Structure 1
Amino acid sequence: MPNPPNANAETRSTHTSEAMQDTGKPELSIGFVLLNQFTLAAFAGLIDVLRLAADHGGRSRQIHARWRVMSMDGLPRTSSAGVTLEVGGGLPENPAEFDYIAVCGGNDYPNTYLPPSLGDWLRQASASRVRMLGICTGTFALAQAGLIGERVVCVHWNVLDAFRGRFPQTPAVVDHLFVDEGDLITCAGSTAAIDLGLYLVARHCGRDKAQQVVRHMMLQGIRPAKLPQAHFYADLTHIADIRVRQAAHFVEQRIDNPPTLDAIARYVGVGRRQLERAFHDTLGLSPMAFLRSLRLEYGSWLLLNNPRSITQIALDCGFSDGAHFSRDFRARFGVSPREFQRKSADGAIPP
């Protein structure tokens, strides 16, 4: 008589569970440290990848992977969305019980105070050869604890300027979803935390477990670490004029619904003529030309990374129709959107 469909899976789970009793550890173990105003999406995405890889059928038993959610003092932490989460306790005396420590940050990154007890514990974990995960702005805390050095870190494009301002000696990039430096992995956060989780599951539990998660989460696949973030901004770290920097951040958030020049000026708190002079003095172009450049950069990224039609991409970039988008795109890149896609596929245009 043939075995029922899940018999082999259940047998493997039983054998793995027995092996765990011998070793005391599953294939992958992560301790989550929640900081104030942590980002829900990044935390939930990473921990749900572990949950779905840990057992068969989404049953959530901690067989192949184990996790614990903690805070510095064992008290609940409130996310940036205002949702308060209970934790499983404070920081354990021996952090070496985990393979990784995931420091989950969020909107509290401007806070320059790192509690000494947290910094000491993170340094103890690192000294015990526990690998560190900087999730979203958790990388700020790891940098404050002195655990990054000259390693390259990945941060979300929206906090790149803030990170570089605080830690100018640390190379920070936004052209990856996450960066693995061996004993330190830093992740941009948001949905990139899912990709990081799949990367860790494939490494420790096998690619079949990672694909199991992909199916459960209804994903189209596993995105590689080197995939650039969908970021569309000019690197203004060398620009001292705060008005230009504030205006740039404002328009970055409004690419699909471009603000008027008057709206940008009101946001910055200056007159439109003052703002135009500031842009010309620092960047050599007008605020609206800067915005148009961002929209076209966004469009070029979508052409390479999104299956939507050119007309839909044009609308998503804030253009009124495909014809306007194609005209401006050709003026900027020297080819039409379709030619850009074709040449990129042929390798004639670098990704």
Structure 2
Amino acid sequence: MTSALNLANTVGADPPYDVTLATPGGAVVRSDSGLQLVAQSAIADVAAPVDTVVVSGGNGHEAAAADRHLIAHLRRLAGPARRVASVCTGATLLAAAGLLDGRRATTHWRYARTLSRAYPDVTVDSDPIFIRDGRVATSGGVTAALDLTLAFVEEDHGADLARRVALGLVTYMQRPGNQAQMTLFTTSRRADDATVRAAVEHAAAHPDDDLGTGAVARRAGVSTRQLTRLFVAELGEPPATVIRRIRLEAAAQLLRTTDLPLSTVAHRCGLTSAESLRQAFVARYGITPSRFRAAQARTP
């Protein structure tokens, strides 16, 4: 984030960003890679209000979330801030501070289930690379923080300056926040069961087929009850949920790579109409197919 904001200053951000790294007690932070980050301030010494509060994640996030003094200072700074954000498992600290209660949030997909279980008042969605819910933003893994930063720069200084920052960083301008962190085949553990694996592979290759649970079960030569049991055991979800995601990811791919009318995209992905595509896409990704396609078109 800091590199992107510094580059924004270089290419004309007005007013410029003034970034301060604050840590508990002003201590040096040793990152997982061995790099050491020297704090410019102790958190206790940072005076409110600040414009944007960003909480980083990493190993030790659960211990940090249990630090009452740290969480108290986070609440103090976040209260009057215009924006509050987290990177990766930094969402755990926002949740511990109560800043995510009643909100939709994301984190790195590996930690989403843990976050959801620990903080039931938070609606955790592991799919998007970042989520904005009011003034609070949460992001997934490390590179997702760059996408969130570009969104902040665009919000503050306009799309043209954000695009110049993206070009300077040799990165995309810009992935929409609702783009999935990873695809179905990497977020879901690969099925060991041959029946489930064959069903998933067929659905991915033929999303326009009849993929109702009954039809899939008949093709697999098992009962619908047995198919559902196998899917839940292997992938953690029933067949209809998995297949719906396959179809929507196929639709997203067509939207990114073709100019096909929405009705054609819908039919090729096994959805009945452009309206059914729109409803399913919004429910899954929080963005309409048209807006998703437009956002992709801005990518150089």
For this structure pair, what is the TM-score category when the shorter chain's length is used for normalisation?
A: 0.5 to 0.7
2:11 is equivalent to residue 56 of structure 1 = yes
CA distance in 1, matches of 2:228, 2:256: 32
2:78 alignment counterpart = 126
Instruction: Please state which structure has a larger fraction of its residues in helix.
Output: 2
CA distance in 2, matches of 1:113, 1:191: 23
Query: 1:119-268, aligned counterparts within 5 Å?
Result: 119-232=71-184, 252=189
2:20 alignment counterpart = 68
- Asked if structure 1 preserves the Cα contact closer than 8 Å seen for 2:6 and 2:17, the reply is yes
**Counterpart AA for 1:106:** G
Q: Secondary structure at the match of 2:55?
A: strand
Q: Secondary structure at the match of 1:65?
A: coil
2:83 is equivalent to residue 83 of structure 1 = no
The TM-score, its normalising length taken from structure 1, stands at 0.55
Q: Secondary structure at the match of 2:60?
A: coil
Q: Secondary structure at the match of 1:119?
A: helix
Structure 2 unmatched runs, 5+: 195-224, 258-264, 282-300
CA distance in 1, matches of 2:31, 2:163: 29
> Residues 342 and 198 of structure 1: is their aligned pair in 2 closer, same or farther, counting only changes over 3 Å?
farther
1:237 alignment counterpart = none
2:229 alignment counterpart = 284
Query: 1:316-335, aligned counterparts within 5 Å?
Result: none
Q: Secondary structure at the match of 2:93?
A: helix
- Asked if structure 2 preserves the Cα contact closer than 8 Å seen for 1:100 and 1:132, the reply is yes
2:48 is equivalent to residue 103 of structure 1 = no
- Asked if structure 2 preserves the Cα contact closer than 8 Å seen for 1:136 and 1:156, the reply is yes
Tell me by how many angstroms 1:288 deviates: 9.5
Cα deviation, 1:160-211, whole Å, max 9, x if unaligned, reads: 1101110012111123222222231111232211111011111112222101
- Asked if structure 1 preserves the Cα contact closer than 8 Å seen for 2:11 and 2:161, the reply is no
CA distance in 1, matches of 2:120, 2:270: 39
- Asked if structure 2 preserves the Cα contact closer than 8 Å seen for 1:101 and 1:132, the reply is yes
Tell me by how many angstroms 1:344 deviates: 11
> Residues 307 and 52 of structure 1: is their aligned pair in 2 closer, same or farther, counting only changes over 3 Å?
farther
The TM-score, its normalising length taken from structure 2, stands at 0.64
> How many percent identity over aligned positions?
22
- Asked if structure 1 preserves the Cα contact closer than 8 Å seen for 2:127 and 2:180, the reply is yes
> Residues 113 and 129 of structure 1: is their aligned pair in 2 closer, same or farther, counting only changes over 3 Å?
closer
**Counterpart AA for 1:125:** L
Tell me by how many angstroms 1:87 deviates: 2.2
- Asked if structure 1 preserves the Cα contact closer than 8 Å seen for 2:129 and 2:181, the reply is yes
| Number of residue-to-residue matches in the alignment | 239
CA distance in 2, matches of 1:127, 1:300: 38
